[in-house]
Amino acid sequence: MLLSEVIGQEKLKQQLVDMVQHQRLSHAILFVGPEGAGALPLAIAFAQYIVSIPNDNTNALGADEIADLPAYHRASQLMHPDLHFSFPSITEKPGTKNISSNYIEEWREFINGYPYGNVFDWLQSIKAENKQGNISADECQEIIKKLSFKSFESAYKVLVMWMPEYLGKEGNKLLKLIEEPPANTLFLLVANSEEQILPTILSRCQYIKVPRLTTSEIEQALTQKAHLDPEKAAQIAAISDGNYREALHLIQHSDADFLTQIREWLNAILKGGPLAQLKWVEETSKMGREPQKQFLKYFNHLLEQSIRIKVLGNDLPLDPALKDFALRINKIAGVGQLEAIVEELDKAVYHIERNANPKMLFMALGIKFYHIIQNKTLILTEG
């Protein structure tokens, strides 16, 4: 993956190239960015750039000038001998070590096909089921062993560690290596949040913050990479909240008529009574976890637009059907009520991701919404 193929983050890309070309490269760099911002593909593209540059040409080659080099071909396939990876994994079977190299083929497939995926996606791809992945003490020993050797053909040995949040106290085994690494050894750590990383590791890293993608960057990526028509790309980009992974999931469920589903739910809550709510919950619980999550996020987006209309006025450039429904919702709830519902939807998404029972979750949400709206009613059908 070339740096130019990473979505957005133009300033960071140039900053990274300048660090190499002006020989200001720190031995340990921590990339921190929210889900879907591209911290992992950015770090991997940077690592591939570094290991592809010939020893005698460090200052001359630009980020895309490496594309035709044999070393880049190996690096782009994640098979370069000086490029190493560490990531959360599970114990395959009793008696075996929990180390990343056991899953390197799956890792290559995952990165080549889904570089903006999150840890949940990764663990599902290796059939972890309900097992919690981690970066084990055995993995730390493997890292120390790998990086003790001289580089094979590049100026640098590079280790990309994804999700150092999954390091427990065993991460202390790496402190000396990170603080005083072998010559020309580079650590690239990629995290969603620095809060769960061992402070002793944090203090040894140069910090690079990867911001959320802009709506226009996601919109452009959806038209160019996902081949969406511009109108649909604009709608999905507006809902994705700077998260390209989220945008890709929304594409999968873009044909779902979430607006009708929301209307039916609110009518069941406010007018239909328990039997109508139960019928709606029974149908929704059959959707599957990912569509349920996308539905809740779409509802959340709709309420956020309703709040914007309340605060900023009715002139916002929104899809007509979405805008009409947002106005209808504003008739039954004030800003404080809408914000309370948004908070409940955020919590519900969190619990869906952690395998909550959907029937119990949606029934509880319906009851909470009823009390938040304080028994006001609204005919939400057309006309």
Q: What pLDDT score does 378 carry?
A: 43
Q: Work out whether strand 83-86 and strand 206-209 pair parallel, antiparallel, or are unpaired.
A: unpaired
Within 10 angstroms of residue 313's Cβ, the number of other Cβ atoms is 8
Q: What is the pLDDT along the chain (383 residues), one digit of tens a residue?
A: 899 999 999 999 999 999 988 888 889 999 999 999 999 999 999 999 999 987 765 555 777 888 888 999 999 999 999 999 999 999 888 888 999 999 999 999 999 999 999 988 898 899 887 778 899 999 999 999 999 888 888 889 999 999 999 987 888 888 888 888 888 899 999 999 888 888 888 888 999 999 999 999 999 999 999 898 888 888 788 878 899 998 888 787 665 578 889 999 999 988 888 899 999 999 999 887 878 887 898 888 888 888 888 777 766 555 677 778 888 888 888 888 888 999 999 999 889 888 889 999 999 999 999 888 865 544 444 43
The pLDDT of residue 382: 42
CB 351 within 8 A of CB 345: no
Neighbouring-strand partners of residue 159: 84, 187
What amino acid is encoded at 363 in this protein? M
Break the chain down into helix, strand, coil percent, rounded to 5.
Answer: 55, 10, 35
pLDDT score for 254? 61
pLDDT digits (tens, 9 = 90+) for 67-101: 888 999 999 999 999 999 999 999 888 888 999 99
- Residue 57: per-residue pLDDT: 59
pTM: 0.77
- Sign of the C-alpha dihedral computed for residues 269, 275, 279 and 281 taken in this order: positive
Res 143: pLDDT: 94
- Residue 16's nearest CA partner among 39, 46, 40, 44 is 46
pLDDT of 383 reads 38
What are the φ/ψ torsions at residue 310 (nearest 5 degrees)? -60, -45
Domain ranges, ordered by start, for the chain: 3-211, 216-252, 258-373
Rounded-to-integer distance, Cα 40 and Cα 314, Å: 39
Q: Which CATH fold topology does 3-211 show?
A: Rossmann fold (3.40.50)
What pLDDT score does 73 carry? 93
| CA–CA gap between residue 210 and residue 212 (Å, rounded) | 7
Specify the pLDDT at position 379. Answer: 40
Element (H, E) at 190: strand 185-191
- CB atoms closer than 10 angstroms to residue 129: 8
For residues 83 and 158, give the distance between their C-alpha atoms in angstroms, rounded to a whole number. 5
Relative orientation angle of helices 39-52 and 104-113, to the nearest 10 degrees: 110
Largest CA distance in the chain: 75
